[in-house]
Amino acid sequence: MPSTLRRLHDEGYLLVVLSNQAGIELHSDVKHSKRLKDFKQRSTAVLTQLDLPMGIYAATVHDKYRKPRIDMWAQMLDDHNLTHEDIDLGNSVFVGDAGGRVPNGKLRKDFSSSDRDFADNVGIKYQSPEEFFLNEEPRAFLRDFDPAQYLASSEAQQLENSHTYTKVNDVDIVLLCGSPGAGKSTFYWKALKPLGYERVNQDILKSVSSISISIARTSPRCGAAAWTVSATVVTPPIHPSGANPLSSARGA
């Protein structure tokens, strides 16, 4: 292992240790103080033996810095005056023993898949120590959540549930009702705007009073208005109980 790390250093790689260490929470009691002291001593001994410029980051509590979250990675980049775009992600690798590997003969299962998940979240390759340092074949693994499988199934579900909206009438009103963030605006821009629909809502008009809409179409043959549609949309204030407001439309 030392020779491999030295070679990587000589090739210009930045070597950093990112570790979850919840057992050394920074408390003042004797129990945790001894664990912290032991961790520092072991880390110092390893770095001294390797004699390489390396940093060690330890997430000591269950917060945003703990793998598989990526804030420990972000902190490391900030400390080295780097951005995520500065990193050659395709040629970077995260090596760790928490890969979610299943039992195989005398080999025990991994205690978690946090290292593999962390690498996925950052966007770099994951390898176990045996794969990276000993060139062993990857072992089968399982994890509770696989982003690749989720995205694939999500895209397939979206295709299965997708419906193409078509405009049937020369003039009509489409009323979109839903809670904030439900996707009303997204549906408008993707499905309705290309068909020539215009959008009216309270955010645009900045008013909760009655809204009068006049829609006129010009006849291509005579240059005069072929028909006119007037509609009134009433948007009352939201009820204090949180109930959905009642909207009505009248056409003539």
Q: Domain locations in the chain?
A: 2-149, 184-251
Region 91-106: mean pLDDT is 92
**Mean pLDDT for all residues in the chain:** 78
Q: Which residues touch 111 (CB under 8 Å, ≥6 apart)? A: 98
pTM value is: 0.58
d(Cα 29, Cα 111) in Å, to the nearest integer? 28
pLDDT the model gives residue 113 = 92
What is the mean predicted confidence (pLDDT) over 58-78?
93
Fold of 2-149: Rossmann fold (3.40.50)
- Between 25 and 69, the more confident residue is 69
Residue 183: the pLDDT is 81
